[in-house]
Structure 1
Amino acid sequence: MSKKDDEQANRLERARSIGLFRYMLIREAADPTLTSRQRGKLVRHLASQEHTDADGRTVRITRWTLDRWILDWRQGGFDALVPSTRQSQPRTPPEVFELATALKKENPDRTAAQVRRILRAQLGWAPDERTLQRMFHRTGLVALRAPKASAVFGRFEAGRPNEIWTGDALHGPRIGGRKTYLFAFVDDHSRAVVGHRWGFAEDTVRLAAALRPALAARGVPQYIYVDNGSAFVDSWLLRACAKLGIKLVHSTPGRPEGRGKIERFFRTVNGEFTVEIASDTGEVGREIKDLAEMNRLFTAWVEQTYHRRVHSETKMAPLERWMAGAPFPVPAPADLAEAFRWSEYRSVGKTATVSLHGNRYQVDPHLAGRKVELVFDPFDLTFLRVRVEGQDAGTALPFQIARHSHPKARPEIPADEPRPTTGIDYLGLIDAAHSAELGEKINYAALGWDGPASVDLTGTNDDAATS
């Protein structure tokens, strides 16, 4: 037997070994007597396990691959599972595979889709996602980080834009040793991100910083759907929604139905944005100096990448689908400012004084002994409006001031500037493209409101400041 014939025999033997491995793996799930539900359960179980392939390597097989093998076996029997023995020159240059391997090893949380995005942004071209995925399986890189189980949610969809906004908070990476949190609101119909903000606290102030600009620029939704986190059950949010005519709905504890879209968005954020940020645990990525940079980069990613990419469910880009329902009426600046003030009820003493968080104020003498509503900016407790049964009753004059801001109104403190890093900066590439094309953040306020679109967290005395 010639050397060429010997090589061909070896390739044929190896191909049949691969076919046998595939058959042994799917034979139980391919049983034609199984129902679709039973087969799906078996395939999901196989996809979650590690297997030893024909070459003795430990690999994981995706559910998509298992389903394809089952279909091949049904159509062509065992021979359909045997790969071709022909040799061909790979079309992807080896240096591209080397860079893809380095990117995966650099950050094991990067998926094949994310590595492809980075390659395309860096080189202007990238191989197919499935090609990268096969390479990661072949080289054992998928075992660097086990996949996380994800919950399955329903497929309900609102009938029009601005009918339902779903809000939630995502725990993000640390910046300068401090944990970050993302408050975000997603339009249920279009999947557009209508409001967002990164902060150092998961509280009502940071929630307001995400929601107020959204309402000012995107209009007022009919419903806001949130969970039972402390920031979402605060009386401030209920008051703001009531003032603007929004129906605030809380999900039932332990039942996430209807929240699948924002959970899916957060998985996209983790897979494409936060994965590229350096963390205190030593993971490689861009080092963020402060929250201003974090929010700027996130805005660039949302507007440049997420809003323009066709969504797998709607088959439209989120921004395009949301704009199909425009224009949307926006609240008047005075109404928005009123909605985002805070209020608390107090009883007026016999001396016509009232107390609020250690401060004492003088009110109109005829209010002595009555219960009043104090309306205020949480960052400035030196000026309070007084209301009785919803009617204006003047202002409360400072008598003794010990605290100038509400205990919950903690301003952000910039973190120390971290050391710079080198390497491919994916978020920087996206930010540069966003700045070059748009110059500044997309201004949806062109729909009709030109007032302030950001929350004042500095504690300045501005009656229209964000509460």
Structure 2
Amino acid sequence: MSAREEFILDLKRGSLSLAEVCRRHGISRKTGHKWRARHNEEGHGGLADRSRRPKESPLRMAEEIERRVVQVRLEHPCWGGRKIREILSRSAPSGERVPAASTVTDILRRHGLLGGGTRGGAATFVRFEREEPNDLWQMDFKGHFAMAGGRRCHPLTVLDDHSRYNVILKACGGETRGLVQPLLEEAFRRYGLPRQILCDHGSPWGTGLRADGGAYGRTGLSLWLMRLGIDLIHGRPRHPQTQGKEERFHRTLAAEVLMREAVWKSLDHCQGEFDRWSRIYNQVRPHESLGMKTPGERYRLSPRSYPERMPEVESYYLAGDELRKVRSKGEITFGNRTYAVGQALVGEVVALREGAAGCREVYYCWKKLGTIDPSQATKSKGYQNRLLED
């Protein structure tokens, strides 16, 4: 009989307290409690010696974590320590410690997986973000790039401002309304309608800038969006930072996709890579400005569904409105004076709504285009007066 079995036997006899039995066997009370608990749980088998080898080897665990860090980096060569740490934490077993982002960076450095760094000094700017998904989408073309055979790819990108969710990433062969509108229609059917879309002043959603820096008129695409109840707004002229999220998305797209292919064979080749990466961007890639969440975790569908029948323009107008059909030169008349409303509106019906001091507010659908002020207009023949902008 072993000493431990004798200890248990003496304890069972019940004539002595545990403390006294421990004293007589020359062991501490802590050890005595341990042997009694093991015997109660496992019987005599619990009294056998156990291996002191740790259940988990710290060295082996460190090697496994390091292997996973390297694997994630090789799959996503542009991701740094914070993003990789977030990916590791998602898949880590309960209770397993995940290394700090700085430790992940050290691992990358040891394996020669850190680039030389491409970031310059951080610019000072004010970040804005809409409060809800689909309050604002940002839309732009990424700079076009060459494909085999002398062709070029023009990536169209659309992001939800609140969640950074990539709504559209399409390899296009040009930058025309005929290409963009069907893609927007497809997105509206899938995600619902946004309240506003922010663009620059370029084609096909804008008509460029005047010499004084102001914007020219509207386009057929913007009128189509108005009829759907979507407000197309434009960033400040020559201020691309207004669409900062789109600009950042374009840099990420270039670094993680475009720069990793030596030759782009066709639009289908581009689209295949775009689709693969877009799923990673929306559902896997942690976003630092979202608290390391993914855009897919923050985005939700719009409650405004795409209408199968386009609303009639005149359904937006009020009973007291004066209606005018826009003439061939993009103009209307009021009080024997001519006013320019835009070439894109030729043949469309606009509404004149009474304003202050004899002025008239000009509307297309629900959107106010500007104000007619007869006191500032000229009667010169052939002269188009401008609408006053708010």
TM-score after normalising by structure 2 = 0.49
Largest Rg, 1 or 2 = 2
TM-score after normalising by structure 1 = 0.42
